[in-house]
Structure 1
Amino acid sequence: MKGHDGMITVKAPGKLYIAGEYAVVESGFPAIIVALDQFVTATISSSDTVGSIVSKQYQENSIVWRRKGDAMVFDNRDNPFHYILSAISLTEAYAHELGRDLGVYHLGINSELDSADGKKYGLGSSAAVTVATVKALCRFYHLPMDKPKLFKLAAIAHLSVQGNGSLGDIAASVYGGWIAYHSFDRDWLHVQRKQTSLSELLDMDWPDLKIDLLTPPADLRLMIGWTGSPASTSHLVDKVALVKAKQRGEYQTFLQDSKACLKRMIAGFHAGDLQAIQTEIRCNRHLLQTLGAFSHVTIETPILKKMIHLAEAAGAAAKTSGAGGGDCGIVLIDQAINPANLLKQWAHDGIEQLNLTVHTVSDDSISNA
């Protein structure tokens, strides 16, 4: 069974972390993530002879390497092309298990998540690329697909390239809106992959995995400030991983404190209580500063510190978003406060407001046409 003759188009949104960074890479630890209205679009159409994969943004033309002793070590985890290939290989393995004939096609990937002049905003382009590719191929091959299955397939594909991370950005890209995400047990998955078919794996409950949709309070306004310096998540998370062993005690304390903070923050969402959420944003910022101090990783750069300080002075709660070390900071401010003055101060300090809004995925965007 081949795909349609017509062209299939799907999209997957980018994301920003609101809270719970770093701790979320541990199984069962929570984070709050939001999907944004910037997208990766995938188009796919049948071809008779030769297939193609074309992406304006991600030409496979440069590789990154560093020294480890005398050896040259390559790291392509930040090049989304690898995620496209991984997503294709996994989705086709799933299609094959379900008895589909594999076809030849043209796949086009177009991303709004990295701006036209090559700026990387840290909006989770590799995750959105993975989700969009999986989604497009599932349509093409008429594979049974709902949000939980899409999440699992894209998570496996992403993990096989990146090798670390929480996969929370995949969850945000699949589910949309505001979510509370608890990461699954990667060791369990690693074992299961060797002994379980993909079809079975997609139907199983994954240990510790939990994805809950949140409704933000009506008076909450999310503002995003970009500091102009991208951060490489895979390298930062590796750095913290190195530290874990050395700082067992402090790291465990950080994890437990982060979990407690997020639990209170999620309760704040359920209660529609903006002030409670803001209190926990400040708490989470403090915990991340502590982690940065004992792990010797710069999570809060001087310009991010400035951005947060200005937001706090305007009556908002603010913190770094994601791995930190550059990229974005997020601000939760009461709708009643006019942010014009704050934005003027940001602009003065070279902090750019990203004009993005929260994206909510509708169910029909998943189901097969």
Structure 2
Amino acid sequence: MIKVSAPGKLYIAGEYAVVEPGHPAILVAIDQFITVSLEKTEKVGSITSKQYGNLPITWKRENDRLVLDKRENPFHYILAAIEVTEKFVKESGKPLSFYHLSVDSELDSSSGKKYGLGSSAAVTVATVKALLRYYGLEHTSSVAVFKLAALAHLSVKSNGSCGDIAASVYGGWLAFSTFDREWVLEKQEQASVTELLKMDWPHLNIEPMTPPEDLRLVIGWTGSPASTSHLVDEVTSNRSHDEQSYAVFLEASKACVSEMIQAFKEGDIPVIQQKIRENRQLLKKMSQRTGVVIETPALSNLCELAEQYCGAAKSSGAGGGDCGIVLFNTKDGILSLITEWEKNDITNLPLHVYRKDEAGV
């Protein structure tokens, strides 16, 4: 039995702009995980997930391609991860076999509500890593694992930046800029997976960062799950009405987040907090121009309460509900804020930054 876990993520800054190549964001991996287990079987394989009622989906092979016995299934990212990774496995000269794959997630609430912690990315990364270990390719580099998981997301037409994938692969605090997806899709038509993994992907930048020692991250959940892909689609569609103001937003976000990354390197918490507040205002302006609700009334309340207790706060990720993040200088005000949040039906998620220690897969 092989078991591999991948952490969830939260965006700290740079949302929406990060879907454009070369525009930076800051993310953090958190200590809640999706675990994928693999066990060798004969002649038929299966996939189960506790999040989908434990009903197994069985599969067979036709000319080394995985074929499901049901067309409608909730496992698109898992299947995409299997397909991409097994192409790489075959190119490495390894024979394919059958296995039972099961998924267990800590990234949703016990009632099945999503916290917005990046479960699609985490399950993709965990599946890729489990398969690499299963087929004896566990020394594959972190950047290759990222690229395999990113190729899986591209194959299911994901419109995200893949920053959540980077957080699940690398752990800790990250500065991230996405790649030119058109370039990758074009090269994919011409090159093998192995060759594609060895290429430098234009604009891709994944940079682990060390946070200042006294920086504290607090996470609040408003209880309103939001669909990232739907919100990104809405912004993409509505921005066409005012491309000039969207271009201004992109450049302002790039400058703001770049300065925040520099403040991380210099250990300057007041500047980090200042840039969090600036990024919040940029997102609110962009939201007004596109008509897409990013900061809901509940998220606004979460942020305003945090500011009263000396925290710098903003929505996290696509917004529309889900989580808000607060950055504090040491622990001043944190307990008072959590008490105030409780009075306002905002849940403090007692999560911590997950730092990956091990090398490779």
Distance 2:44 2:109 in 1: 30
Structure 2: how far apart are the matches of 1:202 and 1:80?
28
The SS at the match of 2:107 is: coil
Aligned twin of 2:22: 28
Contact 2:48–2:54 (CA under 8 A) maintained in structure 1? no
Corresponding residue number in structure 2 for 1:292: 287
Q: Structure 1 CA distance, aligned partners of 2:295 and 2:320?
A: 6
Please give the residue correspondences for 1:1-369 in structure 2 after superposition, counting only pairs within 5 Å: 7-58=1-52, 81-143=75-137, 144-364=139-359, 366-367=360-361
> What code does the residue aligned with 1:86 have?
A
Is the 8 Å Cα contact of residues 178 and 215 (structure 1) preserved in structure 2? yes
Cα distance per residue 1:28-62 (max 9 Å; x no partner): 1000000000001111111123211111013599x
Structure 1 residues 235-259: Cα deviation after superposition (integer angstroms, max 9, x where no partner): 0000011023221100000000000
Distance 1:8 1:163 in 2: 28
Matched residue type, 1:87: A
Q: Percent of pairs identical after alignment?
A: 57
What's the TM-score, normalizing by structure 2?
0.93
Deviations 1:137-191 (A, max 9, x none): 0111112511000000001101211431100000000000000001100110110
Change (3 A) 1:275 1:330: same
Pairwise CA RMSD of aligned residues? 1.3
Amino acid corresponding to residue 335 of structure 2 in structure 1: A
Letter in 1 for 2:232: V
Number of residue pairs matched by the alignment: 343
Secondary structure of the 2:27 match is strand
CA contact (8 A) 1:43 1:109 kept: yes
Q: Which runs of structure 1 show a deviation greater than 2 angstroms over 4 or more consecutive aligned residues?
A: 58-61
Structure 1: where are the runs of 5+ without partners? 1-6, 62-78
Q: Match of 1:69?
A: none
> Structure 1: how far apart are the matches of 2:351 and 2:268?
23
Q: TM-score under structure 1 normalisation? A: 0.91
Instruction: Indicate how the Cα distance of structure 1 residues 20 and 247 shifts in structure 2: closer, same or farther if over 3 A, else same.
Output: same
In 2, Cα distance between equivalents of 1:317 and 1:212: 23
Q: Distance in 1 between matches of 2:157 and 2:17?
A: 17
CA distance in 1, matches of 2:327, 2:287: 22
